[in-house]
Structure 1
Amino acid sequence: MSEQDRTAVGFRAGLEDDAQWLNDLKRRRNPGPRSVHHRAVDPSLGAATVAVHGGTYEDPVTGAVGTPVFQTSTFLLDDLSYSAFERGATRDVPIYTRYGNPSQWSVQEKAAALEGAESALVTSSGMSAIASTIYALTNNGSHIVTAYDVYGGTYNLMREDMPSAGREVTFVDSTDLAAVEAAIRPETQLLFFESLTNPLLKAPQLRAIADIAKRHDALLVVDNTFLSPVNLRPLDLGADVVVHSATKYLNGHSDVTAGVVAGSRKFVDRVWAQALRFGGTTEPLACYLLERGLKTLALRMRAHNDNAERLAAFLDGHEKVLAVHHPSLDHYPHQHLREDVLGGYGGMVAFEVAGGDDAALKFCSALRIPYLATSLGGVESLVSLPFNTSHCSLTTAQRASIGIRPGLVRYSAGVERAEDLVADVARALETI
């Protein structure tokens, strides 16, 4: 096989055909996967530039500026395909869309560049990304440390599925470094935390947690859904792998369900293999929509960041609001986040209205601009109440134990005009 062919199936120079022992093998994975037609950009460029150009498939036949939709389930086999099978590099050659597709590669290349990662993987949902990552990076008999207040789907996976899969899980307060370190055992393989929690926007000290993980030979996985790589890059803070529900900010238009995993090629290849077995493939049209959404990520995040800060500033001190949870406020308890963020804090604002849950329901019903719906990160503002949606399975006492008190509202600020959102919230507050 020529050196050019070796590179095409994902290996750098140094693969020894006559190697007799494992320590003779000198092959190293390339970044990617990507084809020669996928545009690779310098990740040190600005996020707006990377978001537009990273990963674009520059079609050699038509010269199309946008990435085509490779709406196919399978590809013709050739010598390169057979070499990929032989050398364990089937992720690097289009063979079958469950294994990989140029539409997927475009999204992955863009996401990897935005996160400053060597490789990325796109999956069928955020939970597919999370489950594939956790299963791939742990094994039977291992131990995981995570937070009490992770996303509900993650919590259920940790609590219900991990024990039956032979993984023990310890839940801690992610903002208590002593508790995080105290929870680690000799068999701990993985620490899983969120860069900003739902719904109270707590911010773990990721740099310190990464140091703890390294001291104990464990991996740190960070769910960066609430901030996006425009606002925070956990890999730069010491995390090993980053996951996203790409349904949210990365896509940004409430019309795609997808997930993303980013990190070193070594780790992402393992997650890819696990995702293959789970069947968490993202189909090509969804990849097209996700890549299109990613192109405006930096622009959208500026609007989300600004709108949320404007809302938080208005709500803070309002006579009908008991508490506001947002990192831009001076009384926010996790001030270290200001040293880590790149652009802002995302579009989420959590606040407690006077009068409890009944008053919160009345407030939401009086709003005219946001949709009363779950999810977040779309161009349109959304509002929901944790007590009857994301945390409805918890008792009142359990919600209180993690800081969710009656009257808590979760507001996802979209990209509408800030003055309109503030005026709408002010008018709705007057009804309670």
Structure 2
Amino acid sequence: MSKAIGDPAGPGADRKWSNNLRRGRVPGPRLPEQRVMDDDLGMSTRSVHSGTYIDPATGSVGTPIFTSSTYEFNEHTYGAFDQGHIRDVPIYGRYGTPNQWVVQEKVAALENAESAVAFASGMAAITTALLTLTNRGGHIVSSRDVYGGTYNLLREDMPQFGRDVTFTDPTDIREIEAAVRPETQVLFFETLTNPLLKSIPLPELGELARRENLLLVIDNTFLTPYCLRPLDLGAHVVIHSATKYLGGHSDLTAGVAAGSRKYMDRIWTELLKLGGSLDAFGCFLLERGLKTLAVRMRTHIENANLLAAFLNEHPRVTAVHHPSLSGYPYPRLREWCATGFGGMVSFEVEGGDEAALKFLDRLTIPAVATSLGGVESLVSLPFNTSHSFLTVRQRRELGIQPGLVRLSVGIEDSADLITDIDTALTGI
């Protein structure tokens, strides 16, 4: 079996490696000029102010863009080299920049984390985190319903890196428990699945990770910290494709990971080798998006709830998948998502894929495009985009029926969206 990171761990109860980093760490990294907000402040207040860099020369309200690739050494720099905390001082662009530290501090504040790391994409965040938290001979338990890029990484590449992966039903805690082996190191799941919005048993996963000394890594892209903070329910690391809701304007590709400082330091050292760091302008765009996260999410959620209720009564729609509806098969999600369920709605059009294609052609407001979480509504069909690599039988095994439409609800006026979608549906 594998040797776990930093410890010659044995099977079962002897697997203590996930908590063996005992060196004291401070939150951050952060600069003295950055704002640190109290944890008891509201989500909007922290979204706007946490981590903001107050320029001592100009007093600028917004964080300046630091495009420098390197920084002059001083006594603090040499002290960092000597004491081994080079993540905390400006040295070199790939190591960390003021703009990276600003967005990392803001994400950490929103996720109730000690630290965060910014990446050039969500896939860079996932790949770096999983390679950091496992080693050759290790084992990952994940889901058959994960994002396509993640599924391909786990199925095709992780075995090449010497990591074995078991795919499970993400809603079945018994199946997940049965998949755990002595060499298991990480449980990796998404809070809501794409495109059917299945909910994972997150508290039970947290308990399983604690009991078996595993690391629980959660992709929280669909729900965002506005709706759910997985670290509060037992996760060790939370990941986002910041391209989506955190950026929020469909003009950025980025990713983030957040958690305790000890895990973020380990992930950061792997980032230095893999090279997926986020540039200064990308950080600027991400900070801009994060400032309005709470207010945007409130509108995304309100619009999605209204559209789900409307579609649920429409004669040309045979099924709607959304947590706000009474028939949602995973009602426990409401116990830990008091503020809402994000802006995703999936529904099945009567007449199958051919009818769904005609529906897309008749829409005038939502754009037919991939991705999600932007201020504009986006719509796509899983059968010819995200899940086109699967056979018809494989899609149906996942619950993806003909005519399934995935709608990322934007922040347009809900009445306009409902009218446009109604017109497109009734005109098929």
Give the alignment's TM-score, normalised by structure 1.
0.93
CA distance in 1, matches of 2:131, 2:421: 43
Match of 1:83 in 2: 79
- Corresponding residue of 2:346: 350
| Match of residue 388, structure 2, among 392, 400, 419 | 392
> Within 2, Cα distance between the matches of 1:43 and 1:113?
7
Q: Sort the Cα spacing of 1:27 and 1:150 in 2 relative to 1 into closer, same or farther, 3 A.
A: closer
The CA deviation string for residues 113-168 of structure 1, in whole angstroms up to 9 with x for no partner, is 00000000110000000000000000011100000010001000100111111110
Offset at 1:27? 5.3
The equivalent position to 1:205 in structure 2, one of 198, 201, 207, is 201
CA 1:26–1:247: 2 relative to 1, 3 Å: closer
The 10-residue stretch of structure 1 (63-72 or 37-46) with the greater mean CA deviation from structure 2: 37-46
- CA deviations on 1:206-254 (whole Å, 9 max, x unpaired) are 0011101111111100000000000000001111100000000001000
Matched, 1:176 2:172: yes
Question: Does residue 68 of structure 1 match 2:67?
Answer: no
Q: Does residue 341 in structure 1 map to residue 337 in structure 2?
A: yes
Look up the SS of the partner of 2:256 in the other structure. Answer: strand
Deviation at 1:317, TM superposition (A): 2.9
SS of the residue corresponding to residue 222 of structure 1 reads strand
- Structure 1: segments with no counterpart, 5+ residues: 1-24
What's the secondary structure of 1:58's corresponding residue? coil
Rounded Cα–Cα distance in structure 2 between residues aligned with 1:39 and 1:74: 24
Q: Could you tell me how far 1:276 is from its partner in structure 2?
A: 1.1
Instruction: Tell me how far 1:342 sits from its aligned partner.
Output: 3.6
Q: Secondary structure at the match of 2:166?
A: strand
Judged with a 3 Å threshold, the aligned counterparts in structure 2 of structure 1 residues 399 and 26 are, in CA distance, closer, same or farther, namely: closer
- Of the three residues 211, 216, 219, the one matched with 1:215 is 211
In structure 1, the residue matched to 2:324 is: 328
Counterpart of 1:22? none
Match of 2:51 among 34, 50, 55: 55
Residues 1:319 and 1:137: Cα distance change in structure 2 (over 3 Å): same
Q: In the aligned structure 2, how far is the partner of 1:351 from the partner of 1:109? A: 37
User: How many Å separate the matches in 2 of 1:254 and 1:284?
Assistant: 17
Structure 2 residue 288 is the aligned partner of structure 1 residue 292? yes
Q: SS of the residue aligned with 1:242?
A: strand
DSSP 3-state at the match of 2:188: strand
One-letter amino acid of the counterpart of residue 254, structure 1: S
Cα distance change of structure 1 residues 394 and 77 upon mapping to structure 2, 3 Å threshold: same
Supply the distance in 1 between the matched residues of 2:348 and 2:41 (Cα, whole angstroms): 40
* Mapped partners of 1:295, 1:169: distance in 2: 37
Superposed counterparts of 1:122-133, under 5 Å: 122-133=118-129
Match of 1:32 in 2: 28
2:14 is matched with none
Structure-2 residue corresponding to 1:5: none
Other-structure match for 1:187:
183
In the alignment, structure 1 residue 362 sits paired with structure 2 residue 352: no
> Contact (CA 8 Å) 1:150, 1:193: kept in 2 or not?
yes
Does the 8 Å CA contact 1:43/1:114 hold for their aligned counterparts? Answer: no
Give, in whole Å, the separation in 2 of the partners of 1:262 and 1:254: 22
How far is 1:341 from its partner? 0.7
The CA distance in 2 between the partners of 1:181 and 1:419, in whole Å, is 45
* In structure 1, distance between residues paired with 2:51 and 2:338: 22
Q: Corresponding residue for 1:12?
A: none
Partner of residue 41 from structure 1, selected from 37, 42, 48: 37
Alignment of 1:223-372 (within 5 A): 223-372=219-368
Shift of 1:289: 0.8
Shift of 1:44: 2.2
Q: 1:121 aligns with which of 104, 117, 122?
A: 117
Distance in 2 separating the partners of 1:31 and 1:363 = 50
Name the amino acid aligned to 1:95. I
In structure 2, give the amino acid aligned to 1:119: S
Task: Kindly provide the CA deviation profile for residues 234-275 of structure 1, in whole angstroms up to 9, marking residues without a partner as x.
Answer: 001111100000000001000010001000000011111111
Cα gap change, 1:69/1:354 in structure 2, threshold over 3 Å: closer, same or farther? same
Unaligned residue ranges in structure 2 (runs of 5+)? 1-20
Q: CA RMSD in A?
A: 1.0
Corresponding residue SS for 2:218: strand
Which residue does 1:153 correspond to in 2?
A: 149
- Number of aligned residue pairs: give it: 408
Amino acid at match of 2:91: I
Paired position in structure 2 for 1:112: 108
CA distance in 2, matches of 1:67, 1:106: 8
Shift of 1:43: 2.3
1:426 aligns with 2:422: yes
Give the whole-Å Cα distance in 1 for the aligned partners of 2:23 and 2:167: 39
Q: 1:262 to 1:320 in 2, by over 3 A?
A: same
Residue of structure 2 equivalent to 1:143: 139
Q: CA deviation at 1:26?
A: 8.3
Give the percent of matched residue pairs that are identical in Structure 1 and Structure 2.
62
In the alignment, the residues of structure 2 paired with residue 82 and residue 278 of structure 1 have an alpha-carbon distance, to the nearest angstrom, of 25
| Alignment partners' CA distance in 2, 1:44 and 1:206 | 24
SS at structure 2 position matched to 1:164: coil
1:243 is paired with a residue of what secondary structure? strand
